[in-house]
Amino acid sequence: MAEQQCVGFIGVGLMGHGMAKNILEAGHKLTVLGHRNREPVDDLVKRGATEASDVGELALASDIVFLCLPGSPQVEATVADIIAAKGDVKFIIDTSTSNPVSTRMLAERCAKAGITMVDAPLSRTPKEAWEGTLDVMAGASEEVFAEVRPLLETFAGKIVRVGECGAGHTMKLLNNFVSMGYGAIYAEALAIGAKNGIDAATFESVISGGRMDCGFFQTFFKYVVGGDRDAHKFALRNAHKDMRYVVSLANESGIASHVSSSIKNGYATAEAIGRGDDYVPMIADVIAELNGIKASKG
């Protein structure tokens, strides 16, 4: 891949802002699409990016287009617009958490238009996106992976090719299944503990540093015990969306989804009662409140 690329970036939100910033700082020509939040767009333009008025204009200015969108419906609509623009886009790299069934379908549509689809979903947080140390799970052939890897390296510290196109989104859903499962377990454990004289700080002090500790536990409890609302900025509505995709994938695969369906229902409940914009650690508050427990922070 040539040293400088004409890169389009659609979705400069919490994660995309930092990623786009790092692509720009690596010396690539960057075109971004307007976002409902003007702050990241204005910041990137000040740093040297160009703002496009629509997807078609961005596609005509780009050889490679990154997507960082809420989910498959938005990705499908955007890919359709890129194909319709009939520009010179060679690669579409979807870093969203998308449904692998949709991803494989889009890859076939893109191939017919002379575009290669790569799924490269992310792990970690907006902090690492800004620092350029995200984890990436890439789905692509070995040849395509080698070609796009230098761009992925502008914003990622750990990059793993997990298989062909679609495998990245599959692995991402499995990753989120595990992490959202942790969140659901922590929330229920805390509620049981609270009813039986074990507060959150005591729970945290026992688990922290032991075999059941992990990075997710630490950011979760920075909110539960420390009250840091921004410790893990991933919305409950997105957790619900991802778990819907997990259950859908399980059903598509003929797998009984007892555990994933139960976890999905917990996040569905949080969104249904109006808490979808809260962040994942706040599932502990939701479960506490549904059980008549008053949560305390700090």
Give the mean model confidence (pLDDT) for residues 113-137.
95
Taking the C-alpha atoms of residue 78 and residue 92, their distance in angstroms, rounded to an integer, is 10
The answer to whether residue 2 scores a pLDDT higher than 60 is: no
Beta strands in 153-238 (DSSP E): 156-163
Quote the pLDDT of residue 296: 58
Residues 255-298: pLDDT tens digits? 999 999 999 999 999 999 999 999 999 999 999 999 999 865 55
Residues 51-76: pLDDT tens digits? 999 999 999 999 999 999 999 999 99
Q: Which two tokens stand for residue 98?
A: 């998308």
Give the mean model confidence (pLDDT) for residues 230-240.
93
End-to-end CA distance of the chain: 50
Give the mean model confidence (pLDDT) for residues 117-140.
95
Residues 131-184: pLDDT tens digits? 999 999 999 999 999 999 999 999 999 999 999 999 999 999 999 999 999 999
Confidence of residue 126 (pLDDT cuts 50, 70, 90): confident
The answer to whether residue 216 scores a pLDDT higher than 90 is: yes
Give the mean model confidence (pLDDT) for residues 206-213.
97
Residues 21-47: pLDDT tens digits? 999 999 999 999 987 789 999 999 999
Taking the alpha carbons of 26, 98, 172, 117 in that order, is the dihedral positive or negative? negative
The answer to whether residue 14 scores a pLDDT higher than 90 is: no
Residue with the larger pLDDT of the pair 293 and 2: 293
Quote the pLDDT of residue 93: 98
Confidence of residue 4 (pLDDT cuts 50, 70, 90): confident
Do the beta carbons of residue 187 and residue 181 sit within 8 Å?
A: no
Quote the pLDDT of residue 236: 97
So which residues are the catalytic ones?
172
Taking the C-alpha atoms of residue 114 and residue 117, their distance in angstroms, rounded to an integer, is 10
Calculate the dihedral angle through the C-alpha atoms of 182, 183, 189, 191, rounding to the nearest 10 degrees.
-170
